[in-house]
């Protein structure tokens, strides 16, 4: 039987088709994000917890019991972290009246300083402050809505994790048949295996890197005498999981605490210096040695992906951006027409056209 001739479409036809496909994907994720994002998180957690379930099965634990114990381990670990943050945040909330007084004093000092040095009148500055307050209130309402939504999602994710572990062989068979039309296909199996290994190694590396950053944050804040150093250090490490952007946001919380809790503004400057040193260590030592080797995605693709993830699904989308781009790169590397996109997303050193790798 003769094979059908391959149709090589010109670039001006292929480019709009690719852009149309990306637009439909982004639109679908935006519309169905509330349904899909919990499943994506559950898939990542299931892959991360899979070695525990496999270890239990090797020790002859029944399948359902092994999966249940694996999910229980993950739930207990996550619940312990959330409970710690809740206790620390409750103590912080008890100090809010004092913080409001300090912020009011700092606001008055800032008004006087700007009026004396730049001639900015109180009325103009107060108008800016009111506008900022209204935006902050709207942001707070959006944050509370997001938190309440996450609480609902937190009850669904363990169920999804359990079911994904239980039906993983059926899901793998389904994906192989969908993408190849056969029950077994080494190419599709290789993509799935490499995607699983990449997510596992990436998440483990991310947890190790986050733990080290949390310790550095807490030690630095304790040396400066900043209140609630443990809470701020851990929150800073969690925010650092958002590539490139989270580290900048993480600095604002301890700077605000130092600004409010200390009489001298030198402490706030000290916090900035300490966090810049930690970010330097993280970006130049920890990430290249622990995380970057697991996900070969360049900085431009990561930043754009994080911004797109934020536009699609807010904070959950930002967390899922880098693993999603890594999986897309693995798939693109296996499809000949999509290899230019893999090159665009990747961070590997590739020889330039007309030059061998040895001549570089």
Q: Is the dihedral of CA 72, 76, 79, 81 positive or negative?
A: negative
Average pLDDT value for residue range 109-115: 69
> Closest Cα partner for 288 from 205, 226, 189, 200?
205
- Of all residues in the chain, what percent carry a pLDDT higher than 70? 72
Q: What per-residue confidence (pLDDT) applies to 142?
A: 53
CB atoms within 10 A of CB 61: 16
For the cut 50, the answer to whether the pLDDT of residue 12 exceeds it is yes
pTM of the model: 0.69
Q: Is the pLDDT of residue 8 over 80?
A: no
202 versus 170: which is more confidently predicted? 170
pLDDT of the residue at 69 = 93
Q: Which of 48-62, 86-100, 150-164 has the highest mean pLDDT?
A: 48-62
Examine the pLDDT at 106 and tell me if it is beyond 80: no
* pLDDT at residue 331 tops 80: no
Tokens of 284: 């130049």
**Mean pLDDT in residue range 109-120:** 67
Please give the helix or strand (H or E) that residue 206 lies within, else none.
helix 186-224
Q: Which residue has the higher pLDDT, 208 or 18?
A: 208
Q: What is the pLDDT of residue 244?
A: 64
Q: Considering only CA atoms, which of 213, 224, 235 is closest in space to residue 259?
A: 224
Tell me what the mean pLDDT of segment 142-170 comes to: 73
Strongest mean pLDDT among 127-141, 163-177, 187-201: 163-177
Note the pLDDT of residue 356.
45
pLDDT greater at residue 178 or residue 49 = 49
CB-neighbour burial class of residue 117 (10 A; exposed 0-12, middle 13-18, buried 19+): exposed
Give which of 205, 196, 189, 190 is closest to 294, Cα–Cα: 205
pLDDT over 90 at 68, yes or no:
yes
Q: Which residues pair with 346 in a beta bridge?
A: 297
Across 301-320, average pLDDT: 80
- Give the model's pLDDT for residue 215: 92
- The torsion region of residue 346 among left (phi > 0), alpha (psi -120 to 50) and beta comes to beta
């Amino acid at each position: 039987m003769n094979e059908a001739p391959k149709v090589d479409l010109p670039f001006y036809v292929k480019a709009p088709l690719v852009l149309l496909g990306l637009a439909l994907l982004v639109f679908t994720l935006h519309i169905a994000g509330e349904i899909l994002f919990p499943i994506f998180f559950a898939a990542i957690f299931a892959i991360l917890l899979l070695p525990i379930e496999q270890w239990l099965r090797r020790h002859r634990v029944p399948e359902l019991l092994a999966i249940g114990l694996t999910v229980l381990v993950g739930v207990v670990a996550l619940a312990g972290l959330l409970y710690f943050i809740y206790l620390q945040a409750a103590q912080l909330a008890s100090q809010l009246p004092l913080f409001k007084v300090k912020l009011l004093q700092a606001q008055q000092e800032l008004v006087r300083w700007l009026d004396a040095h730049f001639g900015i009148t109180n009325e103009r500055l107060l108008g800016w402050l009111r506008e900022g307050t209204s935006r902050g209130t709207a942001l707070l309402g959006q944050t509370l809505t997001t938190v309440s939504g996450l609480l609902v999602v937190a009850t669904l994710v363990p169920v999804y994790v359990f079911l994904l572990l239980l039906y993983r062989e059926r899901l793998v068979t389904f994906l192989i048949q969908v993408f190849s039309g056969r029950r077994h296909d080494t190419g599709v199996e290789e993509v799935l295996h490499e995607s699983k290994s990449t997510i596992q190694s990436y998440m483990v590396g991310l947890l190790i890197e986050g733990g080290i950053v949390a310790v550095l944050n807490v030690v630095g804040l304790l040396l400066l005498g900043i209140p609630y150093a443990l809470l701020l250090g851990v929150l800073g490490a969690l925010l650092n999981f958002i590539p490139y952007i989270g580290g900048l946001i993480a600095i604002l919380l301890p700077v605000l605490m130092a600004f409010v809790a200390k009489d001298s503004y030198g402490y706030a400057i000290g916090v900035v210096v300490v966090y810049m040193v930690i970010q330097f260590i993280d970006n130049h030592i920890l990430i290249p040695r622990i995380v970057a080797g697991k996900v070969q995605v360049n900085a431009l693709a990561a930043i754009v992906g994080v911004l797109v993830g934020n536009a699609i699904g807010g904070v959950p989308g930002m967390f899922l951006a880098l693993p999603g781009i890594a999986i897309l790169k693995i798939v693109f590397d296996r499809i000949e027409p999509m290899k230019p996109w893999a090159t665009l997303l990747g961070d590997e050193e590739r020889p330039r056209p007309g030059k061998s790798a040895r001549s570089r």
